[in-house]
C-alpha cells in the first residue's frame, strides 16, 4: 500500500518517534547513544531544526522538534542513514535497523506542546527504566537544571517561559506523571499503537511480580495470577489487551477484575 504524505504542522512542532525494526534494540551501549546524539545535533542544526525535547530508550527514540522550513524528512535521513550504517558495522548486524519510516505527529498548540515534552521525559519511568530526574539519556535535566546538565542539546526557552522557569517545569512534569495524565495524549501520537502502549504500562507490573513475560502469568498460583490481572486493569490496560498479552481468556480476566 502506498504511504500517504506526512501531516504538516502549521505550528512547525512535531513529536517524532523512531523505532527499531521488529522492536530490536538500536542502542547496545552508551557509545551508540553518543554516536546517535552527535549525529542528531549535526543533522538538526544543518536543517535549521530546533530540538525541544529528546529521550533515548533501548529500542526507540522520542524527539520534539520545531521545523519551520519543512526540512524534517531530510534531517531525519541525514541522522538515521549514517547511524544505521554505523550500528550494522559495529554490531555485525545485517538488515534494517529502523522500523519503516519515522512517525511525526503535529503538535499544534501550547498546551499540547507542554504535554508532549512531559510525555517524552516520562518514558523511562513508564517503562521502569528509572525516574525522570535520574535517567541520563533524556533532556529532562536540561530543563530542570539549565546550564548544569551533562548535555546541552535543546532549545528550552519557550517551554521554560510558559512554565515560569525550571521549578515550574519540574512541578508540571511531576504532576502529569502523578495523575496519569498521558492517556489522551498517547491516543493522538502515531507510532504508539494501543498494544505497544499497554506493554509499556505493564512493564512496572512485570518488574514487581518478577515476570520476564506476561505469558508467565497463567502459570502463577491463582491468587498471584489474579493480583497481576487486577494490577494490569488498574494500570488502564483493557480486558482485550490483557488477554492478548497474557493468553488468559477475557471471560476470566473480566471475572477476576470486576
What would the pLDDT profile of 99-115 be if each residue is shown by its tens digit?
878 999 999 888 889 99
Mean pLDDT of the region 163-173: 93
Q: How far is CA 109 from CA 9, 13, 105, 160, 187, in A?
A: 10, 9, 12, 16, 16
DSSP string over 164-208? TSHHHHHHHHHHHHHTTTTHHHHTT-TT--HHHHHHHHHHHHHHH
Mean pLDDT of the region 189-215: 79
Q: How far is CA 128 from CA 101, 113, 132, 257, in A?
A: 27, 24, 10, 24
105's enclosing H/E stretch is strand 103-107
What would the pLDDT profile of 225-253 be if each residue is shown by its tens digit?
999 999 998 888 888 889 888 989 888 99
| Sequence-separated (6 or more) residues with CB below 8 Å from residue 88 | 94, 95, 97
Contact of 114 with 169, CB cutoff 8 Å = no
Which of helix, strand or coil describes residue 58?
Answer: coil
pTM score: 0.71
Contact of 132 with 177, CB cutoff 8 Å = yes
74's enclosing H/E stretch is helix 72-91
What would the pLDDT profile of 140-163 be if each residue is shown by its tens digit?
999 999 988 899 999 999 999 999
User: How high is the pLDDT of residue 1?
Assistant: 40
CA distance 44 to 23: 25
Amino acid at each position: 500500500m502506498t504511504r500517504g504524505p506526512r501531516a504538516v504542522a502549521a505550528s512547525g512542532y512535531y513529536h517524532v518517534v523512531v523505532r527499531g525494526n521488529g522492536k530490536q534494540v538500536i542502542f547496545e551501549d552508551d557509545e551508540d547513544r553518543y554516536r546517535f546524539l552527535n549525529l542528531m545535533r549535526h543533522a538538526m542544526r544543518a536543517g535549521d531544526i530546533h530540538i525541544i525535547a529528546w529521550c533515548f530508550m533501548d529500542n526507540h527514540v522520542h524527539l520534539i522538534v520545531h521545523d519551520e522550513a519543512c526540512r524534517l524528512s531530510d534531517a531525519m535521513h541525514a541522522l538515521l542513514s549514517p547511524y544505521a550504517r554505523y550500528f550494522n558495522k559495529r554490531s555485525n548486524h545485517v538488515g534494517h535497523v529502523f522500523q519503516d519510516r519515522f512517525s511525526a505527529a503535529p503538535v499544534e498548540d501550547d498546551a499540547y506542546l507542554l504535554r508532549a515534552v512531559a510525555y517524552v521525559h516520562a518514558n523511562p519511568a513508564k517503562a521502569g527504566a528509572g525516574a525522570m530526574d535520574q535517567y541520563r539519556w533524556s533532556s529532562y535535566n536540561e530543563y530542570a537544571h539549565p546550564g548544569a546538565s551533562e548535555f546541552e542539546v535543546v532549545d528550552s526557552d519557550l517551554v521554560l517561559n510558559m512554565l515560569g522557569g525550571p521549578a515550574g517545569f519540574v512541578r508540571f512534569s511531576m504532576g502529569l506523571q502523578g495523575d496519569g495524565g498521558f492517556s489522551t495524549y498517547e491516543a493522538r501520537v502515531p507510532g504508539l499503537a494501543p498494544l505497544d502502549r499497554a506493554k509499556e504500562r505493564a512493564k512496572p507490573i512485570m518488574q514487581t511480580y518478577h515476570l520476564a513475560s506476561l505469558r508467565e502469568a497463567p502459570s502463577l498460583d491463582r491468587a498471584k495470577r489474579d493480583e497481576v490481572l487486577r494490577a494490569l486493569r488498574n494500570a488502564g490496560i483493557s480486558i482485550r489487551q490483557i488477554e492478548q498479552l497474557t493468553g488468559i481468556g477475557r471471560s476470566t480476566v473480566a471475572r477476576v477484575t470486576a
